[in-house]
Amino acid sequence: MSQTKKNSGGSYTRGRSSSAWGGVTIAITIALLLVMPLVAGGCGTSTPSQAVLDFLQARNQQEWENLLASVLPEDVRKMTNADIDYRHDAWLKGNYVVEGVGTTTTVPIDVKYTVTEKDLKTTNVGQTRARVKLVAGKILVRDRKSKRGIMIDLKNRVDSVILLRDEKGKLIGKINVKTGEVSQVGPDGKLGKPEKMFKPGASGEVSWKEVMSTILGGLQVADQLELKDEFTAVKYKGAWYVKYDMAKPKPQPAIPQF
């Protein structure tokens, strides 16, 4: 029987169990991984927006137990061993797996959300469900090895504008999600003439996934589509949690370097 252990460096190693007790130990360990966070901090929160803030803060601060405690318990309980391995590496260690045909590459990526409650807009609030959208704040995505990164600045999102900055905060471009036009900063430091790059969808705006795929493609991040701008919060036993599919994403073609 194989077993999974977490070493001192935070990674996982697999080997053969020396006895039947090894299998029992693994089963207990996995059970604790799933249940203990919910017992320790799984009280949820009083508002949908606070549930999203707790989720993003746990990701930023790499707090595994708090992260699971902010997710709807039903979604956490569905996690398999493979899901646990993937989420732990992707969220806590910043290792995003790029999976293409016949190839699997691990890329170290830092993702940081800088969001406050006033940066969130809660809509479609029902008795047990609500949508929470980021309308301001920043998301920094950086390759730890090359130090290359990009900052997605949402402070003008209410005006249908997303600003793109480098990792130091210098403006490099602007996207109008209503018109699909993109303006890039030229050598003179000024924004150039807008060019049509995206086609708005049925919602009247350009797809967030399409924008992320384009501006982050050069970072080789297959998991980039999890950089969400909108979340679903669910009320469970009187408290709010983030509803999140915790399953490991299915393999998808590697993203070409731009």
Q: For the chain of 258 residues, list the mean pLDDT of each consecutive stretch of 10.
A: 43 40 43 40 81 93 92 94 87 70 70 92 89 93 81 86 90 92 92 92 85 72 67 95 88 47
Burial 180-216 (b: 16+ CB within 10 A, else e): bbbbebeeeeeeeeeeebbeeeeeebbbbebbbebbb
Report d(CA 102, CA 160) in Å as an integer.
Answer: 40
In a domain, 169, yes or no: yes
List, in sequence order, every residue forming a beta bridge with 143; answer none if it has no partner.
109
**pLDDT value of position 22:** 46
**pLDDT value of position 126:** 84
In a domain, 249, yes or no: no
- Counted domains in the chain: 1
In a domain, 250, yes or no: no
**pLDDT value of position 69:** 94
Residues 6+ apart with CB under 8 A from 29: none
For strand 2-6 and strand 161-166, is the pairing parallel, antiparallel, or unpaired? unpaired
In a domain, 85, yes or no: yes
**pLDDT value of position 97:** 66
Domain containing 239 equals 2-243
In a domain, 257, yes or no: no
Q: Tokens standing for 236?
A: 């469970």
In a domain, 110, yes or no: yes
**pLDDT value of position 203:** 84
In a domain, 121, yes or no: yes
Overall pTM surpassing 0.85 (yes/no): no
**pLDDT value of position 6:** 43
**pLDDT value of position 253:** 53
In a domain, 45, yes or no: yes
